Structure 1
Amino acid sequence: MTHYLNFINNQWVAADNGASYRVTNPATEETVGQVSAASAAQALAAVDAAAAAQRGWRKLTSIARGDHLRAFADALVARKAAIGQALALESGKSLEDAENEAVYAADITRYHAEWARRIEGEIIPSDTPGENLMLHREPMGVVACLIPFNYPVYTLLRKIAPALITGNTVVVRPSNHTPCSAFEIAQAVLDAGLPPGVVNILAMGHAEAEVLCTHPKVAMITLTGSVGAGQRVLDYSRVNIAKVSLELGGKTPAIVAADADLEKAANDIVRSKTTHCGQLCTAVERVYVQEAVFEALVAKLKEKLSAHAYGNRSAQSQHMGPLVSASARQGIHAMVERAVQAGAQLECGGSVPSGPGYFYPPTLLTQVRQDMEIVQEEVFGPVLCVLPYTTLDHALALANDHQFGLASVLYTEDYRSVMQAGNEIEAGELYINRTPADPYQGYHAGWKRSGLGGDDGKHGMLEFTQTRLVVMKY
């Protein structure tokens, strides 16, 4: 069992109060690591180190920062076995998936390195003769990055790569469920030769996270997490008027028209629902099916979900893995039970298996109503609700009748339906004849309670900048 220390100013630092906690494998409930818990004083020290480093980091040419990011990406790939091993043990993912996540994180790092020569300002006509208006894109300063448990390696680089290329430095707080992989990434920071203080990674509790996020030198807070976590971050941001970027909950609707390829739709939806046990903010959670094909699609979904094996992925990588914790499983099962009590039909799943590990079977519910909790609240687990619709107008009204607006899906061969949905869906993303995958050259941004700001692509990179207007009289 590895004991991980915190990473401040390119140094490994033990908790100054001796505090630590154990990390559990959700597939076996065994302890797989021990992590030093940073104190409030150490959180402050990390911000001070990042602020000091940022003064030099921002003065580097952007192409020099890009060279550092490319070296960092190479170091991530070189360490993919160590990163993947830590991630697989702490998350219940297969080793193959965990290593692939490290490679994908390196890919997005290289992508952001390519922006080095493309961070553009503007020249704007002035109303005054003999004068130019020049708009510059400048770094924010120190960015606090709060990382979720579900894709902790990829999301960590999804945040720090655009932050670094634009001249910021970062203090990272990984999820307490999955901190070990973050510290393996910290070793890649050293291997790549990034300057001290540019990247700092600390495990900490909520009180220490508040100290971090309310530090006057923190100019921006970026979070991927729940709506509740986002609300806390908004409270933190009020203290110093820090900029926020929040990627919060989702409840992806999939609309399946009568002319859709039902076999493909069923396979895609089941894959979306069972990947990482449904712990993905863009996973399909509610399916609206045109009445003419409702029974046919339900039959296919029931067959495929019932046959989908689950269990320890270190033994069988094709299995669906565990939920993150016992409390997560308890909460999901309680939601399913309340739905059944309210009249939903349980087609498959819906039971808590015996034995070690926080497993939950793929679960399918029909005869649900739009106003039910199971339809209106994010489950974040392998539970799927299916409802019928009549017309596309009806389907869009149901899909849009929701607090969340992150991703959405439409299966149809009719271009008119595609165009209408593209104009009327109330979500940041619409996928046609496929389920969400967050291409990193796109823009991943939620509507409604799904967030503020966004990640990925040019617009995600520019979230980490602020503008300066220079008015030059000549």
Structure 2
Amino acid sequence: MRIEKNFINNEFVGSSQNSLIEVYDPATEALIAQVPAASAEEATYAIDCATQAQKAWRKLTSIERGVHLQNLADALIEHKHEIGAALAEESGKSLEDATNETVYASEITRYHAEWARRIEGEIIPSDTPNENLLLQREPIGVVVALVPFNFPVYTLLRKLAPALITGNTMVIRPSNNTPCSAFAIAKAIKAAGIPKGVVNVVAMTHPTAELICTHPKVGMITLTGSVGAGRKVLEYSQVNIAKSSLELGGKTPAIVEPDADLEKAAEEIIGSKTSNCGQLCTAVERVYVHEDVYDRFVELLSKNMKNKPYGNRTQNPDFMGPLVNENARLNIHQMVERAMDDGAILEQGGFIPEEKGFFYPATLLTNCRQDMEIVQEEIFGPVLPVLKYKEIDEALALANDHQFGLASVIYTENYRTAMKVANEMEAGEVYINRTPSDPYQGYHAGWKRSGLGGDDGKHGMLEYTQTRLVVLKY
């Protein structure tokens, strides 16, 4: 069992209190680590260190900050096996997937480093003679990042890299389910020579997280998490009018037209639904299939689900791994049972396995209705409800009749249909003839209850800035 320490001001430090966060391997249910829950004083010290460090960090040229990020990207590659091993053990991912997540995190770090010469302001014409208006982009200050459990390595760097390149410093609270990979990343941060206090990684309880989110020295809170967590952050941000960037729930609809490549669509949809055991905010969560191909497509979905067994991915990386914990599994199973009570037909899965580990089989439900909970609420697990439609306008109306608007999918070979959906879908992302993957040069932002602000690309980087207008009279 590993014993972790918090990372504050470039030092790994123990806690003055005896409160420990226990970390379990979700594939075996074994206790694998103990992490000190920071005290209020320790968390406040991390904020103070970040505040002090930001004064010097913001004064570096952006190209100097970019060099630091390039060094961090190199260090992540050098530490990828350690980070990957920690992530695999605490998340149930295969070692290959966990290591690849670290590589992908290094790539987004390098991507944002390359923005060093592109953080642009504007020169605006003035109404007054002999005067220029200069709109500058400036850092916000100290950013608190609340990182989720499902892709904790990638999401941490997805937030850290744009925050640092724009001149901010950061206090990171990793998920209590997957904190060990964050501390492995902290070793890479130290090895890369990032100055003291610029990045702090601190495990904590919810009350302590509230304390740092409402601290007057914090200028921004960035969260990837549930709608409930997003509401909490909005409450916290009101205290000091801190900026919030929230990537929240999703309920990705996939529309399958009769002219689609059905075998390709079925394979990719099941791949999306079972990747990381469905614990992905952009995973396909509901499928609308044209009535002309409905029966055939259900057969293909069922066939692909049968070919996706679950199990410990250290034994077979092709297995679908576990859910994060027992509560998640129980909540998902209860949703399936309620759907069946409401008339859904169980085609595959739908049971709690007897073996150790928080596994749940890939589950397919047909005869679903739009008003069912299983269609309206985010499942965040390997359960797929399927619905039938007659015309594309009906499918669009059903897809848009929802509280979420993060990602969406359409399978069709008709470009008119594709463009109609692209123009009328109420979601931040539309994927045509493929499932979501969040390209980091794009902009990952949700509509409706799926969030505020966004991540990735130029616009994700600019989330970490504020503007200053300089009125220059000459």
Same fold (TM over 0.5): yes
Deviations for 1:311-332, whole angstroms, at most 9, x for unmatched residues?
Answer: 0000000000000000000000
Partner SS, residue 32 of structure 1: strand
Matches within 5 A, 1:241-320: 241-320=241-320
Partner SS, residue 467 of structure 1: strand
Deviations for 1:247-291, whole angstroms, at most 9, x for unmatched residues?
Answer: 000000000000000000000001000100000000001000111
- Name the residue aligned to 1:120: 120
Deviations for 1:66-103, whole angstroms, at most 9, x for unmatched residues?
Answer: 00000000000000010000000000000000000000
CA distance in 2, matches of 1:422, 1:26: 38
Matches within 5 A, 1:13-412: 13-412=13-412
Deviations for 1:446-467, whole angstroms, at most 9, x for unmatched residues?
Answer: 0000000000000000000000
Partner SS, residue 380 of structure 1: coil
CA distance in 2, matches of 1:179, 1:200: 13
- Name the residue aligned to 2:459: 459
Partner SS, residue 120 of structure 1: coil
CA distance in 2, matches of 1:10, 1:392: 56
CA distance in 1, matches of 2:24, 2:58: 39
Quick one: which amino acid aligns to residue 440 of structure 1?
Y
CA distance in 2, matches of 1:308, 1:376: 25
Instruction: Name the stretch that deviates more: 95-104 or 18-27.
Output: 18-27
Instruction: Name the stretch that deviates more: 430-439 or 31-40.
Output: 31-40
Shift of 1:34: 1.2
CA distance in 2, matches of 1:306, 1:87: 27
**Contact residue 349 and residue 362 of structure 1 kept, 8 A:** yes
CA distance in 1, matches of 2:413, 2:304: 23
Percent of matched pairs sharing the same residue: 69
Partner SS, residue 161 of structure 1: helix
Shift of 1:427: 0.2
Quick one: which amino acid aligns to residue 71 of structure 1?
N
Shift of 1:8: 0.5
Count of matched residue positions in the alignment of Structure 1 and Structure 2: 474
**Contact residue 254 and residue 409 of structure 1 kept, 8 A:** yes
* Aligned CA-pair RMSD: 0.5
Shift of 1:306: 2.1
Partner SS, residue 292 of structure 1: coil
Quick one: which amino acid aligns to residue 175 of structure 2?
S
Shift of 1:403: 0.3
CA distance in 2, matches of 1:64, 1:32: 39
CA distance in 2, matches of 1:94, 1:448: 34
**Contact residue 306 and residue 349 of structure 1 kept, 8 A:** no
Shift of 1:307: 2.6
Question: TM-score scaled to structure 1, two decimals?
Answer: 1.00
Deviations for 1:374-401, whole angstroms, at most 9, x for unmatched residues?
Answer: 0000000000011011111000000000
CA distance in 1, matches of 2:19, 2:374: 39
Shift of 1:15: 1.0
CA distance in 1, matches of 2:220, 2:31: 34
Shift of 1:18: 2.4
Stretches of structure 1 lacking an aligned partner (at least 5 in a row): none
Question: TM-score scaled to structure 2, two decimals?
Answer: 1.00
Stretches of structure 2 lacking an aligned partner (at least 5 in a row): none
